[in-house]
Chains A and B, each alone.
Chain A
Amino acid sequence: MSEKKELQVAALKNGTVIDHIPSNKLFTVVSLLGLQDEDANITIGNNFESKKLGKKGIIKIADRFFTEEEISRLSVVASKIKLNIIRDYEVVEKKEVEMPDELRGIVKCNNPKCISNNEPMQTWFHVIDKEKGLLKCHYCEKEQQKDNIKLL
């Protein structure tokens, strides 16, 4: 490990380090995971240099581990995000964010004439192409690009 990385991950005894967040998506990740309401000790850093992303953000959360469902939510924002699970100062597991086969209640349909935008109900998308980020609304059947889609 380089000195710089040690510094970024340092001082977390147990918890999760969310790394490789595109800088412009950092606060979206915060709100997607509901971190603003957490009591835990959270360190947020942004605009670190990154070979892959240009600039990246990092979030360190003490004593908090995320479910697969929470992690899959992040795939809507960026697919390059990585999670390091820390126990007793050691990285015990690394997880990559992967697009799930379907997204329920996470994003909003782009079609104003879709029933899901006019009825109190959960949205539901099928992921058609994980590489291209192509989603299809389960209800109105319109295909849409994940980058053009709004989070709920």
Chain B
Amino acid sequence: MENRSLVTIAEHSKEKIMYLLEMAREFEKKPNRHLLAEKVVATLFFEPSTRTRLSFETAANRLGARVIGFTDPKVTSSSKGETLKDTIMMVSNYADIIVMRHYLEGAARYASEVAPVPIVNAGDGANQHPSQTMLDLYSIYKTQGTLENLNIYMVGDLKYGRTVHSLLMAMRHFNPTFHFIAPDELKMPDEYKLYCQKHHIKYVEHTDFTEETIADADILYMTRVQRERFTDLMEYERVKDVYILNNKMLEHTRPNLKILHPLPRVNEITYDVDDNPKAYYFQQAKNGLYARQAILCDVLGITLDEVKADTEK
């Protein structure tokens, strides 16, 4: 059987991405279905991530599946030295699909090679987090009506921010112009700038974050500057308050601008922004549900036509 696992969306074609977004849109129209009524979904969280787990489990529940799994690695045998392979093989006996989050990079790829059932990567260390990328794409698509020719501004921690790297790669099909706004210490790594050059993606780098800088933005993608990324805490103190978005800065921005953030936020978006219609981060998180419903169905071999037929019912 063809391995339908979702490890990364870097390999997905433009057609495949649009297909999944189309499917997510069907789920937004009607989230409650019985498409997975006979299925058992396992969620294995070797590293806790409450947000991602709740989103996947809600997606599974709204599709009528039953959910098993664990979230605390301390109660499972992996802390007693059981290999990942053994855990995956054991759970494969019970579940039709495994959604897994792991602190080690490449864990989902390896699991997809040993497991007899499909794997959905819900984050592997600093490497990939494809369902986050899908919900980001869906949010952009939904609010802008297209993914083509957009000005996308990425702000904050562009060095370690896994979500901005994945989004950057997934957008390569859609002729974007990127603006990277970050302090020198956290700027976009050369690897991704080379990637842009190779794929003829336009980008501009900025160190200042002002009203003028963001005047032409269609999407403002804010990220959290995480304390645990710094070995030098003095450096953290110096940059943590530099890239903060407040409501005043949005006054002369484009009317179609939407502000995204992978959440949780700390202080990089002030609370007065929340009531601005350009703030989109809470709806963005909700879109994660539809994106994950599409992912679960696609990985289990349910087609867009079947989903559409079900919408009509």
Residues on A lying within 8 angstroms of B by beta carbon are: 111, 113-116, 118-121, 137-143
**B110 and A139 within 8 A (CB):** yes
Distance to closest chain B CB from A40 (angstroms): 37
- Cα A119 to Cα B85 in complex, Å, equals 8
In addition to A111-B105, A140-B127, 4 A-B residue pairs with Cβ atoms within 8 Å of each other are: A115-B102, A115-B107, A120-B83, A137-B106
**A121 and B103 within 8 A (CB):** no
Question: What per-residue 1/0 map shows which CB atoms of B83-121 lie under 8 Å from chain A?
Answer: 111000000000000000011111101100000000000
Q: Say whether B68 faces chain A, with CB atoms less than 8 Å apart.
A: no
- Cα A121 to Cα B8 in complex, Å, equals 21
Chain A residue numbers with a CB within 8 Å of B85 are 119, 121
Closest 9 CB pairs of A and B: A139-B106, A140-B105, A115-B106, A140-B106, A115-B107, A115-B104, A115-B110, A113-B125, A139-B109
Chain B residue numbers with a CB within 8 Å of A138 are 106, 109
Chain A residue numbers with a CB within 8 Å of B37 are none
Distance to closest chain B CB from A19 (angstroms): 37
Q: Say whether B126 faces chain A, with CB atoms less than 8 Å apart.
A: yes
Chain B residue numbers with a CB within 8 Å of A114 are 104-106
- Cα A138 to Cα B109 in complex, Å, equals 8
Q: Say whether B38 faces chain A, with CB atoms less than 8 Å apart.
A: no
- Cα A138 to Cα B124 in complex, Å, equals 14
Ordered by A's residue number, 28 sampled pairs between the chains whose C-beta atoms are within 8 Å are: A111-B105, A113-B105, A113-B126, A114-B104, A114-B106, A115-B84, A115-B102, A115-B104, A115-B105, A115-B106, A115-B107, A115-B110, A115-B124, A116-B106, A116-B110, A118-B104, A119-B83, A119-B84, A121-B85, A137-B106, A138-B106, A138-B109, A139-B105, A139-B109, A140-B106, A140-B125, A141-B127, A143-B191
**B110 and A121 within 8 A (CB):** yes
Chain B residue numbers with a CB within 8 Å of A139 are 105-107, 109-110
Interface size class of B (residues with CB under 8 A): 10 to 19
| Residue of chain A at shortest CB distance from B84 | A119
| Residue of chain B at shortest CB distance from A117 | B104
Chain A residue numbers with a CB within 8 Å of B102 are 115
- Cα A142 to Cα B106 in complex, Å, equals 10
Known: A115-B84, A121-B85, A121-B110. Contact between A141 and B105, CB under 8 A?
yes
Distance to closest chain A CB from B163 (angstroms): 16
Chain A residue numbers with a CB within 8 Å of B105 are 111, 113-115, 139-142
Q: Which of A118, A120, A137 has the most CB of B within 10 A?
A: A118
| Residue of chain A at shortest CB distance from B111 | A115
- Cα A141 to Cα B165 in complex, Å, equals 13
- Cα A142 to Cα B105 in complex, Å, equals 9
B114-156 at interface with A (beta carbon < 8 Å): 124-128
**B106 and A141 within 8 A (CB):** yes
| Residue of chain A at shortest CB distance from B125 | A113
Question: What per-residue 1/0 map shows which CB atoms of B269-292 lie under 8 Å from chain A?
Answer: 000000000000000000000000
| Residue of chain A at shortest CB distance from B8 | A141
- Cα A54 to Cα B104 in complex, Å, equals 43
Q: Which of B8, B103, B127, B128 has the most CB of A within 10 A?
A: B127
Distance to closest chain A CB from B81 (angstroms): 11
Question: What per-residue 1/0 map shows which CB atoms of B46-88 lie under 8 Å from chain A?
Answer: 0000000000000000000000000000000000000111000
- Cα A118 to Cα B111 in complex, Å, equals 13
- Cα A116 to Cα B109 in complex, Å, equals 11
Chain B residue numbers with a CB within 8 Å of A121 are 85, 110
Question: What per-residue 1/0 map shows which CB atoms of B182-194 lie under 8 Å from chain A?
Answer: 0000000001000
| Residue of chain A at shortest CB distance from B85 | A119
Distance to closest chain B CB from A137 (angstroms): 7
- Cα A25 to Cα B310 in complex, Å, equals 65
**B191 and A119 within 8 A (CB):** no
| Residue of chain A at shortest CB distance from B102 | A115
Distance to closest chain B CB from A130 (angstroms): 18
Distance to closest chain A CB from B107 (angstroms): 5
| Residue of chain B at shortest CB distance from A116 | B106
